Structures are given as structure tokens and as C-alpha cells.
Amino acid sequence: MKLVRFGEAGRERPGLVDAGGVVRDLSALLPELDGAALAPASLARLRALDPATLPAVASATRLGPPLAGVGKIVGIGLNYADHAREAGVDLPAEPTVFLKAASAITGPDDPVVLPPGSQKTDWEVELAVVIGTVARRVSEADAPGHVAGYCIGLDISERYWQLERGGQWTKGKSFDSFAPIGPWILTADELPAPRGLPMSLSVNGARMQHGDTGDMAFGVARLVSYVSGFMSLLPGDLIFTGTPAGVGLGLVPPRYLRAGDRVEASIDGLGRQRHEVVAG
């Protein structure tokens, strides 16, 4: 299933995308698309529905973030060898883990808002893992059973605050609008092995990133298992799994986002995001 939320910002309702690409309204059957809605029994009930019996949503309706009530975003850094090379570092022996504020979440076509004084705001297209059931110190073998689905996560990063002001990465990654997700969550039953998915990102029509989820140094099962050893992963939590080469920091000379730029990101099967960059 492709699960979405649609409507005005702050007033989104749950829905799904049918086989013909039409958004269908689930709000009469489901109060919200949040962690509770991702429980196996809840997803099974949704799969049993005939989408044709659900009201169609007007095609021009805004799609919001496909998940409400996200508790935390766990970011994974340097998870692609080509990205590590462009950053001038070796691949880490273990996953590099940071936190990104859930308040940064926005929709798949909403503006990316530059923080005041931004000079080095960068882009990173990523596969995002959506947790469906509590994962606490789980094995790699059991980890996939805790995943409800996948979506695109765009990890926007202000490199100045991330790298030049001391401390950890979180503050450069957590400005409002720095975590667009969606357009939909593809449930894990339709993507049991999330490897080999082409992913790309362009700025003003020029392709900057092009990679494949199969190039991750640490795969989804390893990441879920590893992170769950340090913190409980709860239904509705997200793991952003890292980005391939082509970020602005790695270009010669570096190139960063400016007001008026347009960013487009896609992952095969998970849809496409389109954002205008605006001044904050």
C-alpha cells in the first residue's frame, strides 16, 4: 500500500493511493496515520479494503507528510562509500548515528526554508525507514519485522551549523522544513528487500545525486538492529539511512542552496519530492 496524508498543513487527513494513482480518503475509517496506525493488525485491515469504495480526493489537493506524531528521526551519516570519499573520510567501522528534530518534518512539495543568514544549506536524498512495532535490542534477523514501510527522506543540512560551530550535528540538521518526507509510505510487504532502488536529486534541473540503495554500507536490518541497541525505536519513528555522493559540500567549488532554487528528489517506487527554496 501507498499511505498518504492530504490537506492543508496542520489539518491533514489519512489516505491511500490506489492502483490508478488516485488518492482515496481513509478518514472515516482511520483517525490519523500515525504510529498506532502502523501496527500489523491495523495495516492488515487497510489491506483488506477495496480502495474503489473510498471517496476520491481531488487531484490538486496538497499532500502533507505521510506520517503524523513522529517521535524521533534517527540519522545515519557516511553510509555510502562515494559520499564518504567526497567528504574526505573513511567509511566508519560502525554506523554513525545522530538525531534530527521531528519538528523539521514537512511535506513532499512544501518549501525548504533557509534559516536566517544561511550560507551553506545542503541537500541529501535518503531512504527513510518507518518503524511499525517497538524495537528494543533486536537482532538483524528479527529487525525487518519491526519495519512498517519506507519513504523518501530529504536530509537538509546547514553545514555551517553542523560542522563549524562545535558540538554534534543535530543543530545543523533540525531547522524547520529540513526533513521533508513522502509523498507516501510504501508498506514493507511491497518492498521486502529495499536494496537496488535508484535514487536521485537535482537542483534547478541539474542532476546532483544519483545512487542506489544497494550501495549502503550498512543495510536496513543492520541499522534497525544497531540503533535499537542504544534506544527504543517506537512505532512512527524514522531512520534516515544516509545519502550517496553529490551533495553540495562535495562539489568543487562547493555549491549550496539559495532562495529561488528548486530541488527535486526521487527514489524508485517511493515517488518524487519537489521543493522551492525560500528565505526564512
Average pLDDT over residues 192-204: 96
User: Could you tell me the three cell numbers for 43?
Assistant: 495495516
89 pLDDT more than 80: yes
User: Could you tell me the three cell numbers for 250?
Assistant: 562535495
167 pLDDT more than 80: no
Task: Identify the CATH class of 73-279.
Answer: alpha beta
Average pLDDT over residues 114-122: 94
168 pLDDT more than 90: no
141-170 burial, b at 16+ Cβ within 10 Å, e below that, comes to: eebbebbbbbbbbbbbbbbbbbeeeeeebe
pTM, to two decimals: 0.97
Nearest of 91, 120, 92, 75 to residue 242 by alpha carbon: 75
The pLDDT tens digits for 15-59 are 999 999 999 999 999 999 999 999 999 999 999 999 999 999 999
Sheet with 96-100, strands from edge to edge, namely 23-25, 13-17, 2-6, 185-187, 147-154, 125-131, 238-240, 73-77, 96-100
Of 99 and 81, more confident: 99
86 pLDDT more than 90: no
Which residue ranges make up each domain of the chain?
Answer: 2-53, 73-279
Phi, psi of 234 (to 5 degrees): -110, 160
